[in-house]
Amino acid sequence: MKIFDAWMSNILCLISNILLYKTMGNLKLKGKDILKLGYPNNQSVNIALEVMKRNFATKNIHHVKSILKEILVNPENFEKDLTFGQIAEALLSSKKTEKRMLSTQRAAFNIFGNNISDEAKNQLFTALKLPIATQGALMPDAHSGYGLPIGGVLAVKMR
């Protein structure tokens, strides 16, 4: 009987922990909130969301935003912090990204098909001017995408 009581006590404890975890926090923080603070639109937003939801789920959103703003202003001060170090690293690495100019000449390309939109062609032409582009192609079903057209192929050289 004692084994059953101990087992039942453990089950009840587990259930209460699960319920507590589910209701523990519901931080209403979104990526657009972090972008409005001035964060660059890169991986730092996802990392900040994850860190803050994991560690500050029960905190006031204004408090969380003030912490994020402080990290954004001085990421160097948080680089070695166990909680905020990932956010700081993402911010610092985004500042190291260098801007490069497009080449004046575009790489060689082939277009397979006749009814491809000008927008899709222009997307490929821009991509072919990237310094790493070596060759490109548009397939017959190509249409515009976010950067490279859907149905576009871009061969690049490795550094």
pLDDT digits (tens, 9 = 90+) for 99-152: 678 889 999 999 999 999 999 999 999 999 999 999 999 999 999 988 899 999
Asked if residue 4 has pLDDT above 60, the reply is no
Asked if residue 19 has pLDDT above 60, the reply is no
Boundary of a domain, candidates 67, 96, 125:
96
Edge to edge, the sheet with strand 150-156 lists 108-111, 133-143, 150-156
Q: Is residue 81 part of a domain?
A: yes
Same domain, yes or no, for 52 and 115?
Answer: no
Same domain, yes or no, for 79 and 136?
Answer: no
Asked if residue 2 has pLDDT above 70, the reply is no
**Structural domain that includes position 43:** 25-96
Same domain, yes or no, for 54 and 89?
Answer: yes
Query: Cβ distance 127 to 102 under 8 Å?
Result: no
Query: Cβ distance 141 to 115 under 8 Å?
Result: no
Same domain, yes or no, for 86 and 113?
Answer: no
Return contacts of 69-72, CB within 8 angstroms, 24+ apart.
69/37, 69/38, 72/37, 72/38, 72/39
Taking the model in full, what pTM does it have?
A: 0.48
**Alpha carbons 78 and 86: distance in angstroms, whole number:** 9
Structurally, the chain folds into a number of domains equal to 2
Name the least confident of 13-17, 31-35, 83-87, 110-114. Answer: 13-17
Same domain, yes or no, for 35 and 74?
Answer: yes
Q: Is residue 150 part of a domain?
A: yes
